[in-house]
Amino acid sequence: MILVGENINVMSATIGPSMKERNPKPIQEMAKAMSETGVDYLDLNIGPARKAGDDLMHWLVETVQEVSDKSLSLDTTNPLATEAGLKACKGKALINSVSLQPERLERILPLAKQYDADMIGLLWGVEGMPRDANERCMLAVDLIYRANEAGIASENIWIDPIATPVSVEINQVKSCLEFMSMLPEITPECKSIVGLSNVSNGTPTHLRPYLNRTYMIMLMKYGIYSAIIDAFDAELVHIARGERPEIVSLVHRVMDGDDPDTASLNQEEKEYLKTVRVLTGETLYSDSWLEI
């Protein structure tokens, strides 16, 4: 799997102010630390960056490239900032969060073509969030058609069905997964990506990794190509690298309807079992799901 580290983002308590002050040190330290975790891409998330976003993204790309050779993902809704980032990127860039608003597509698709960049097609439509797997399919078809029309090959498109917090709406967690099982039929060429931390948003910080890791394993059953992750979750990276096949196999068996005897499971296996039951909707989410 391809892993995109999410930690350089404007919402972060240390990175946000460093971006604002153009203070390179905390950002370069973060980029160096992330580069050692085994992620493939660094996501540079500057948010909407309405004011001087182009200056910020240009500075950020150069600042990160001084200390890291990782590929970069440009995450902003400001198209001027995207273009400034594309100009500064040494390698093939990934343009993040290309949603289906016509004005956004009009600006971004020609940039993706011009700079020969990959793009993340975010399944966010004119009416906002898709409600189920079918709406995601319709948005995906629409997005791929428009991108192809603009000269972008399907293999350069990474489809993101948008993961949502398990504590808010379990049906959306299920739809995102269901969509992933349908994607190869819609388009065998396109790649896929999911922001795993979205799933655990709003849950207790120390428990987030359980949800992120288990959801990734569930998505792996349907051949997910890549994930946006907390680069410092070393266990998540191990799993993605195929180093925990027995845990992956347990989760997949449970998804197929297997009901293992809990007495035969160790502590870690029990935790995965409880978490997969929450993410399939069989158990209602509560902050104490691991203790029940």
Q: For binding to ligand THG (CB under 6 A), which residues are involved?
A: 6-7, 9, 11-13, 45, 75, 96-97, 120, 122, 160, 162-163, 195, 197-198, 201, 228
Q: What's the chain's Rg over C-alpha atoms?
A: 19
The gap between the terminal CA atoms of the chain, to the nearest Å, is 32
Least gap, CB of 277 to ligand THG (angstroms): 23
Between 121 and 250, name the residue whose CB sits nearer to ligand THG: 121
- Spatial separation of the C-alpha atoms in residues 163 and 180, rounded to whole Å: 11
Helix (H) or strand (E) holding 97: strand 94-98
Residue 219's CB is within 10 A of a number of other CB atoms, namely 23
Residue among 129 and 153 whose Cβ is closer to ligand THG: 129
CB 198 to ligand THG: min, Å: 5
CB 201, min distance to ligand THG, A: 6
Q: For ligand THG, which is the closer residue by CB, 54 or 75?
A: 75
Please state the closest distance from residue 22 (CB atom) to ligand THG, in A.
Answer: 19
CB of 67 to ligand THG, least distance (A): 19
- Three-state DSSP class for 85? helix
Task: Residue 229: name the closest of 246, 208, 243 by CA.
Answer: 208
The sign one gets for the Cα dihedral 211, 214, 220, 225 is positive
Residue whose entry in the numeric block shows the structure tokens 């629409």: 142
Query: Cβ closer to ligand THG: 30 or 250?
Result: 30
| Distance in angstroms (rounded) separating the CA atoms of residues 251 and 246 | 9
Chain residue whose CB lies nearest ligand THG: 195
Nearer to ligand THG, 8 or 251 (CB): 8
Query: In terms of CB distance, is 97 or 187 closer to ligand THG?
Result: 97
Closest distance to ligand THG from the beta carbon of 89 (Å): 17
Which one, 5 or 247, has the nearer CB to ligand THG? 5
Residue 31 and residue 290: Cα distance in Å, rounded? 33
Whether the CB-CB separation of 4 and 229 falls below 8 Å is answered with yes
Amino acid, res. 168: V
User: CB of residue 162 vs ligand THG: minimum separation in angstroms?
Assistant: 6
**Cβ-Cβ contacts under 8 Å for 57 (sequence gap 6 or more):** 44, 46, 49, 74, 76, 78, 81, 82, 84, 85, 88
Residue number with CB closer to ligand THG (164 or 250): 164
How many whole angstroms separate alpha carbon 280 and alpha carbon 258?
13
CB of 8 to ligand THG, least distance (A): 9
